[in-house]
Amino acid sequence: MATCAVIVVAAGRGTRAGGPLPKQYHLLGGETVLRRTLRLFAEHPKIHTIQVVIHPDDEARFAAAAEGLPKVRPPVAGGRERQDSVRAGLEALAGEVPDLVLVHDAARPFFTPALIARAIEAAAAHGAAVPVTGVTDTIKVVDGFGTVASTPVRSTLRAVQTPQAFRYDMLRTAHLEAERSGVGGLTDDAAVMEWSGHKVATFEGEAGNMKLTSADDLARAAREGAAPLTDVRTGTGFDVHAFGPGDHVMLGGLAIPFDKGLDGHSDADVGLHALTDAVLGALCDGDIGAHFPPSDPQWKGATSDQFLVFALDKVRARGGSVAHLDLTLICEAPKIGPHRDAIRTRISEITGVALGRISVKATTTERLGFTGRREGIAAMASATIRLPEEDAL
Ligand code: MG
């Protein structure tokens, strides 16, 4: 799979929104605009790393916005113009050399996971692509006196959004060429690619993916645009796998050395199975066996992280987010305590859910029952998710 980085441009002062606080640090439904934007990218399984470009005065604000979110690299300082800021972000990623890069404005916090998926697909297919929507207003070109100079044919016009999507090496080269040639003032990355002679493809944008520009936008978004996630649900999951021959057990996506293995059709990761069922339970969307039947040979030996990612994708496809995951592993052996933090970290990596929202606990059954007799491992889990209210069926 191609690696994909995101550059989030958050260096603007946003003076048009009024007040001393830049717009990307205004609150929307309990979190800042920037945090919401970062969270949506961090939660997407195909995004590997996130580079934020900030104003040097905003280090503390950035730290609060990014706290606990996975995949977010240390910020870099932006330049005088947007073009300089994106170039700084591209240079910060030069050590990683991602295959693809998305460039996104921090002040667009209302995109969906489906838009990210389309952006990645378009970048892989075309090398350079931008999300567009049709224009409903008639657009006029006016002269310096405010008099109409011409009227472009509306059917040929498109409004351009972000994330704009590129092959990393192509965009970096184009930006460096533009800098060397002293070409500035290009207001988006497509314009940099156009200037350097590349064809830029388009893909379908989203009407809801609006840019917060004015104080009015912020107020309206705070009121309604944020689609408050007030439909809070908790699901539970339970799973058991018996010990069999082997030299390790998979628990929460982590291989733990042991003198036995766990029997099962997949990798028998009892913890991830319980979590997957908990998320599906919160969605009222069947169970792991219904979506991944053991009778289907394609799941033989499968790693269980994909089951949990599948369930989380369903939450995100409905515009929701995961508030909390809680997993209890029940066994006499192996000892879970020494691995507990590593399991939490692994679950955070798999799911994109912040570490502070993931709990892993362990207990024994005081040598009673099948786990007490060391015949296998049981796991129980709960998942609390938040969905938009209008999504309730
Ligand atoms: Mg199972």
Q: Say if strands 158-160 and 100-105 run parallel, antiparallel, or are unpaired.
A: unpaired
Distance from residue 86's CA to the centre of ligand 1 (Å) = 45
State whether residue 261 is helix, strand or coil. Answer: strand
Distance from residue 292's CA to the centre of ligand 1 (Å) = 11
Structural domains in the chain? Answer: 4-225 (3.90.550.10), 231-391 (3.30.1330.50)
- Taking alpha carbons only, the member of 66, 14, 72 closest to residue 35 is 66
Distance from residue 266's CA to the centre of ligand 1 (Å) = 8
* Spatial separation of the C-alpha atoms in residues 297 and 318, rounded to whole Å: 29
Distance from residue 264's CA to the centre of ligand 1 (Å) = 7
Distance from residue 304's CA to the centre of ligand 1 (Å) = 9
Distance from residue 41's CA to the centre of ligand 1 (Å) = 30
Quickly list H helices, the chain.
33-42, 59-66, 82-92, 113-126, 168-180, 189-195, 215-220, 270-283, 288-291, 305-317, 340-351, 369-372
113: tokens are: 């996971």
| Bridge partner list, 49 | 5
| Bridge partner list, 244 | 261
Distance from residue 370's CA to the centre of ligand 1 (Å) = 16
Distance from residue 302's CA to the centre of ligand 1 (Å) = 12
Distance from residue 345's CA to the centre of ligand 1 (Å) = 21
Distance from residue 101's CA to the centre of ligand 1 (Å) = 37
* Spatial separation of the C-alpha atoms in residues 19 and 215, rounded to whole Å: 9
* Spatial separation of the C-alpha atoms in residues 256 and 274, rounded to whole Å: 18
pLDDT tens across the length of the chain (393 residues): 789 999 999 998 765 555 567 889 887 767 889 999 999 999 998 999 999 999 998 999 999 999 999 999 999 999 989 999 999 999 999 999 999 999 999 999 999 999 999 999 999 999 999 999 999 899 999 999 999 999 999 999 999 999 999 999 999 999 999 999 999 889 899 999 999 999 999 999 998 898 887 767 777 776 655 566 788 999 999 999 999 999 999 999 999 999 999 999 899 999 999 999 999 999 999 999 999 988 888 888 889 999 999 999 888 777 788 999 999 999 999 999 999 999 999 999 888 888 889 999 999 999 999 999 999 999 999 999 988 776 444
Residue pointed to by tokens 């989030």: 8
* Spatial separation of the C-alpha atoms in residues 291 and 206, rounded to whole Å: 29
Distance from residue 119's CA to the centre of ligand 1 (Å) = 35
Distance from residue 249's CA to the centre of ligand 1 (Å) = 13
Question: How many other CB atoms sit within 10 Å of the CB of residue 257?
Answer: 9
Distance from residue 255's CA to the centre of ligand 1 (Å) = 16
The 3 state secondary structure assigned to 152-166 is: CCHHHCEEECCCEEE
- Residue 216: partners with Cβ closer than 8 Å, 6 or more residues away: none
Distance from residue 71's CA to the centre of ligand 1 (Å) = 29
348: tokens are: 């955070």
Question: How many other CB atoms sit within 10 Å of the CB of residue 285?
Answer: 15
